Amino acid sequence: MSDLFAAHHHGTRTDLAAQACVLHGFALGVVDALLADIRAIEASAPFRHLVTPGGHVMQVAMTNAGTFGWCSDRRGYRYDRLDPQSGKPWPALTPAFLRLAADAAREAGFDGYVPDACLVNRYAPGTRLSLHQDRDEDDRVAPIVSVSLGLPATFLFGGFARSDKTVRVPLTHGDVVVWGGSDRMRFHGVLPVKPGRHDALGELRLNLTFRKAR
Ligand code: SIN
Ligand code: FE2
């Protein structure tokens, strides 16, 4: 059985590629602060199911914090300073968000990380995110820092072509995945979240994805 399937201890690290790794349990100490911040973000910019350019409603519910927010509609994917639903700026990145993103990036080898966008993804059981590259950012070297909260999930981490083989990476509450530099443009996705109940979040998985969009 692959090492990626072994039980991991908090504070350990699994390398996925030269500039990509999982920091097991890295966010556990700040989960309460993150959850309070997510509740505040959600109160001014509620989760919503975006429509893809192809006309499909996305299974994952999304909102954003930061100077820029990732949006999708029939016209395409883009970053916007304003929440199209309210016309207001997205809620700011909070101190807890910025500190965690910078600390995780540094731990993974990326010093001085200052994201300007955080996509907040919400997965109900059964929800998946198909294989994709994060390619709407101007900066394609700065890392993506991805924080998992709530129900566990299997993250797929692949190569630079959609058809490249993927590794299955089990992620649990508090895990942080970082990929940047030469590994920044790798395909990735999430298998359907299995039904279950998490002590802090109930029947949900939340994911924070920090980016440097501009
Ligand atoms: C993403 O690729 O935007 C999210 C990945 C995840 O939910 O773990
Ligand atoms: Fe992504």
Average pLDDT rounded to a whole number, residues 106-119: 98
pLDDT attached to residue 1: 43
Average pLDDT rounded to a whole number, residues 9-33: 96
CATH topology of domain 2-211: Jelly Rolls (2.60.120)
Q: Whose CA is nearest to atom 2 of ligand 1?
A: 189
Atom of ligand 1 nearest to the CA of 177: 8
Atom of ligand 1 nearest to the CA of 171: 8
pLDDT attached to residue 9: 83
Both structure tokens of 127: 């929800």
Q: How far is the CA of 135 from the centre of ligand 1 (A)?
A: 13
Q: What is the pTM of this model?
A: 0.96
Q: Where are the domains of the chain?
A: 2-211
Average pLDDT rounded to a whole number, residues 169-185: 98
Tell me the per-residue pLDDT of 43-78, one tens digit each, with 9 for 90 and over.
Answer: 999 999 999 999 999 999 999 999 999 999 999 999
Mean pLDDT across the chain, nearest whole number? 96
pLDDT attached to residue 111: 98
Q: Whose CA is nearest to atom 7 of ligand 1?
A: 207
Average pLDDT rounded to a whole number, residues 118-139: 97
